[in-house]
């Protein structure tokens, strides 16, 4: 191949590309894909399973959004909510930094998109009886961090809060 990206990330790539005008990295946390992995992560984060329930998970997502917005405000990074169907890379073009020497985040976009969520059923004694993924994928916030990298140029890191 004519580039170093393909062989280095070959195992992680789906499909092919011809002319790269942007790179989108979908943030992915493998431990969170299974009930046992998610539960282990939660225990490591909070110290126990006691707070593992829908309301605590929703509060955590809300705190994440507020912290992203506070960080962006402090560093004068624009944050924009997107409607369904808006082309995020086209929006980002309006915000591209003027300086060739700019490095870092220059824009955060937030859009609603479907995602799997965890559900917790507890026994009458308060223990976790079942931890499972909801079969319906509700719309939740996804964050698109647009940044300029000196080697790669415009890169977007997408993650679900």
Average pLDDT over residues 79-105: 91
Nearest Cα to 57, choosing from 145, 135, 127, 116?
116
Instruction: Determine the pLDDT at residue 104.
Output: 94
Question: Quick one: CA torsion of 90, 80, 138, 127, rounded to 10 degrees?
Answer: 130
E strand or H helix that includes residue 5? helix 5-9
pLDDT digits (tens, 9 = 90+) for 19-78: 566 677 878 788 888 888 889 999 999 999 899 998 999 999 999 999 999 999 999 999
Instruction: Find all residues with CB under 8 Å of 66, minimum gap 6, and list them.
Output: none
Instruction: Determine the pLDDT at residue 105.
Output: 96
| 3-class SS of residue 9 | helix
Instruction: Determine the pLDDT at residue 145.
Output: 96
How many Å apart are CA 90 and CA 10, to the nearest integer?
27
């Amino acid at each position: 191949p004519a580039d170093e990206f393909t062989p280095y990330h070959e195992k992680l790539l789906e499909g092919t590309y011809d002319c790269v005008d942007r790179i989108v990295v979908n943030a992915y946390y493998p431990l969170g894909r299974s009930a046992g992995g998610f539960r282990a992560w939660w225990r490591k984060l909070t110290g126990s399973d006691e707070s593992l329930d829908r309301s605590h998970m929703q509060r955590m997502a809300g705190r994440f959004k507020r912290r992203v917005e506070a960080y962006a405000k402090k560093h004068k990074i624009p944050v924009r909510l997107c409607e369904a169907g808006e082309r995020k890379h086209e929006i980002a073009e309006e915000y591209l930094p003027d300086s060739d020497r700019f490095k870092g985040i220059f824009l955060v976009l937030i859009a609603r998109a479907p995602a799997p969520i965890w559900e917790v059923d507890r026994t009458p004694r308060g223990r976790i009886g079942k931890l499972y993924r909801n079969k319906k994928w509700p719309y939740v916030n996804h964050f698109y961090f647009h940044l300029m990298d000196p080697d790669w140029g415009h890169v977007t890191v997408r993650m679900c809060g």
